[in-house]
Structure 1
Amino acid sequence: MNADTYQQGWIEWKTKSNGKKACRFRYWVRDESKPGEWRKAATPWEEGLTEKQAKKRLRDLMTAMECAPPKPPPAAVAKKGLTLQEFVESHWANYQSNRGIKPSTQGSNAASLKNHVLPMLGSMEVSDVSPTHISNFFRGLEDKHLSPKSVLNIYQLLHVMFEVAAEHDLVESNPVRRKLHRPQYKHKKMPIWSAENVQKILQEVPARWKALFWCIALTAVRLGELLALQWKDIDWDAKTITFGKGFWRGRLQDSTKTGQEHVRHMPASLELILAKHLEASKNIGLDDFVFCRSDDDPRPHDPDDLRREVLYPVLDRCGIQRTPRADGFHAFRREASKYLRKAVGLELAAVQLGHKQMTTTDEHYNDRDMDDLKKAAELIERAFGTSFAPEG
């Protein structure tokens, strides 16, 4: 560095994952690969400096550089040659493992990377990926005619991946930008069965499946959590059922989708039905599944088979019109949520569904109808009083 550059350098600050503030010093150096040009350089990130101390360190560094050019400091930007493919196989794999990302989510991420991201960006060095590259990538996705939700999922995946890369100091900043790249997405409201529809279904379902259908209707749990239910999870004295595992793609998961146990009260009708189911079952060990395939096959039922071979025929016999990708067993959760919201309010609906935030319940499981609009109008009318209404 020649003294005639008269540069002052600058300080970059960030808050690291441990909550501590860190800074590094940036400046310009000659680019040996491009004669006559300059490139940015940086010192490693340091913790524990105040702003006053950092400014003094920067002045000292600039003075030392003008007097005697030091050796280039250790680069803290990118590991030379680390491609996005290599990043996925190393840093990203470790991140998902350390964070306890569920296998189902990891499987979805892996499919998005394999089918969409890596074919276009996998050979690029992580440090070379820019916002422009990300913009071009999303334009390329348009030709694949993916659903808006799928594109949103890919955006969220890439954003988190490059946040992880930034934490490893592999990139200076995240090239995935909300204002530039986040796709427009409006949540699609799913059709919600009426209470009368659920009553028809429970009456129409064959006797063999009655316990399973009643249990999912009255507890409003996810199908994978219901299929993972074992006899030891039912407390007959306390009249509770604890859902603490999940079943996904033929494998038992050691936690539910949210990672929390969901305890549900067992009302008298459900207790009676489950007691009869227990009496008729041969696989009744504490670790046996409550809803196994048969007496000779102790594995949980296959969710796809249940939907196609049991639920859909019942819906058809009840005259309930089926909507693609909307009338699976998850419809029981939507109906329970809407009924509870109307009867006792949104908070209890969120509790029954196991949501930490009521906004999740309201956004994904409720749909305002004419009854809601009528009630709102009548409340406003009563608040303002009817005595001021013009006479007809």
Structure 2
Amino acid sequence: MPRKRKSERAGWGEGQIQQLAEDKWLVRASGGTDAGGRRIRPSRIVYGSRRTAVSALRQLQEELDTGTYIPPENMTLGDWLREWFQAEYGCAVGDPRETILKTAKGSGTTASRYESIIRLHIIPSIGNVPIQRLRSTHLRHYFDEVGKTQSMTTLELHYMVLHSALDAAVKERLVRENVASSMMGKPTRDRNDSPADVLENCWEAEEAARFLAVAKEAGPQWAAFFTLALDSGMRKGELCGLQWKDIDWEAGTVRIERSLVRASKEPVFGPVKNRRPRTIMIAPETLALLKAHRKHQIEIKLRMGEAYNDFGLVFAKEPDKYRRQDVIGRPLQANNLGEREFLRLIKKAGVRPIKFHGLRHTCATLLLKARVPVHYVAARLGHTDVGTTLRIYAHAIPSGEREMLEDLRRALGLFQK
């Protein structure tokens, strides 16, 4: 027999919650009657726990009671984007950037980017289009106009915002289909983690060794920084957000649980990508360099006293003749690393220029060539699944194992469609 749907009806004017499936609910508020005597019962589909459904019902009822409820047939794309962003990130379109960075659910950087795209671009351009009348041609015209001033990378972010918001609108039954999916000429770009990018920005073992030899001559901090980057495969923001408390000296491990979002007077940190902290073991030589760097940093702190901005960071700005004293101890500016110290050391080592992200590619490639199991490499890099690692680094797997893993990918359905 089919499973009976659970339905809970509250008193008159208090709404109703009905369970449609596991983690899927129908919430229905009560708004009295209209001029014809028909009851006003707007509803929404909610995904998650019962607590989520109760919260959604309260919000819907409050909108009815305060006169802010917008019937689906009157809702514009702008109305929906504001509602979706609030539900998805826990802050509002129009909130100050600092507020979004600090209070957003998930990545504050992502929320801040999406908010500015919605507020400055999408709403002024096509925000007034009723969401039920939105067509792929509206989106195509929007991207044609925005594309005159924005890069392909930025256009892809705009598309991701629209696609995600319209996907949610489909789930809420506001629209029948996601018109962004059927749009012709979707913006795409080459990614940092594409196989082509890996091949272009990856060193051989001999090149990596030459680079590290030069980095070790650049001082304790850079010696530890670049050695840890190649040893761990950590992302740039993760390295810049690493704190001393994350290192277990006895176990020889590093806990990676935050990423630098903004290097300012009051630094902003966020979760790591995919929101999955990880603990990895590092080489004894890397640990020794970190200890030497820590000793050097302590000497700087003792010399500067209270003038040192102590955020507990492993890698921080150090004194030099070009730097103001009041910034010593603040986080390294991740966006400048590739253009400054990294490029200088590359030239001195005489190795092939690569992007900073190429250190991560080099780490993964050398591990796989050494026949380290793929699932260990995936865990070290913080990939959510082995399929991601296989897609990006298939070229690095020894040929005999590559065919075997291709068969495994087919069996597990890991090929990208």
Class of the TM-score when normalised by the shorter of the 2 chains: 0.5 to 0.7
Q: Deviations over 1:154-193 (max 9, x none)?
A: 3232121123334555x23244242434727475521212
Q: Deviations over 1:228-254 (max 9, x none)?
A: 111111111122111111102223324
**Aligned counterpart, 2:223:** 210
**Aligned counterpart, 1:257:** 273
Q: 1:121 aligned to 2:126?
A: yes
Question: How do 1:24-63 and structure 2 match up within 5 A?
Answer: 44-45=42-43
Q: Which of residues 309, 314, 329 is equivalent to 1:290?
A: 314
Question: How do 1:100-115 and structure 2 match up within 5 A?
Answer: 100-114=105-119
Q: Which of residues 360, 371, 385 is equivalent to 1:357?
A: 385
Instruction: Indicate conservation of the 8 Å contact 1:221/1:353, yes or no.
Output: yes
CA RMSD, Structure 1 to Structure 2 (Å): 3.6
Instruction: Indicate conservation of the 8 Å contact 1:242/1:264, yes or no.
Output: yes
Q: Which of residues 368, 377, 387 is equivalent to 1:341?
A: 368
**Aligned counterpart, 1:93:** 86
Identity %: 19
* 1:153 positional shift: 3.4
**Aligned counterpart, 1:163:** 167
Letter in 1 for 2:167: E
Three-state SS of the structure 1 residue aligned to 2:271 is: coil
* 1:270 positional shift: 1.2
Distance of 1:240 and 1:46 partners within structure 2: 47
Distance of 2:22 and 2:140 partners within structure 1: 27
Letter in 2 for 1:315: I
**Aligned counterpart, 1:278:** 294
**Aligned counterpart, 2:206:** 196
Distance of 2:145 and 2:310 partners within structure 1: 52
Distance 1:132 1:107, change over 3 A: same
Instruction: Indicate conservation of the 8 Å contact 1:219/1:264, yes or no.
Output: yes
Distance 1:46 1:278, change over 3 A: closer
Q: Please, what TM-score do these two structures have when normalized by structure 2?
A: 0.64
Instruction: Indicate conservation of the 8 Å contact 2:243/2:313, yes or no.
Output: yes
Distance 1:109 1:181, change over 3 A: farther
- Aligned pairs, number: 310
Letter in 2 for 1:227: C
Distance 1:84 1:368, change over 3 A: same
Distance of 2:344 and 2:81 partners within structure 1: 43
Instruction: Indicate conservation of the 8 Å contact 2:125/2:142, yes or no.
Output: yes
Instruction: Indicate conservation of the 8 Å contact 1:338/1:367, yes or no.
Output: no
Q: 1:300 aligned to 2:294?
A: no
Structure with the greater alpha carbon radius of gyration = 1
Distance of 2:120 and 2:78 partners within structure 1: 13
Three-state SS of the structure 1 residue aligned to 2:206 is: helix
Q: Deviations over 1:129-164 (max 9, x none)?
A: 2334234334445545742x5444332321211233
Distance of 1:178 and 1:117 partners within structure 2: 17
Q: 1:368 aligned to 2:395?
A: yes
Distance 1:368 1:166, change over 3 A: closer
Letter in 2 for 1:88: L
Distance of 2:208 and 2:115 partners within structure 1: 37
Distance 1:106 1:145, change over 3 A: closer
Distance of 1:286 and 1:262 partners within structure 2: 25
* 1:305 positional shift: 3.0
Letter in 2 for 1:280: H
Distance of 1:230 and 1:375 partners within structure 2: 38
Distance 1:260 1:286, change over 3 A: farther
Letter in 2 for 1:202: L
Q: Deviations over 1:14-67 (max 9, x none)?
A: 9789324799xxxxxxxxxxxxxxxxxx985599xxxxxxxxxxxxxxxxxxxx
Letter in 1 for 2:316: C
Q: Please, what TM-score do these two structures have when normalized by structure 1?
A: 0.67
Letter in 1 for 2:23: N
Query: What runs of 5+ residues in structure 1 fail to find an aligned partner?
Result: 1-13, 24-41, 48-74, 378-392
Letter in 1 for 2:176: S
**Aligned counterpart, 1:328:** 355
Distance of 1:265 and 1:278 partners within structure 2: 18
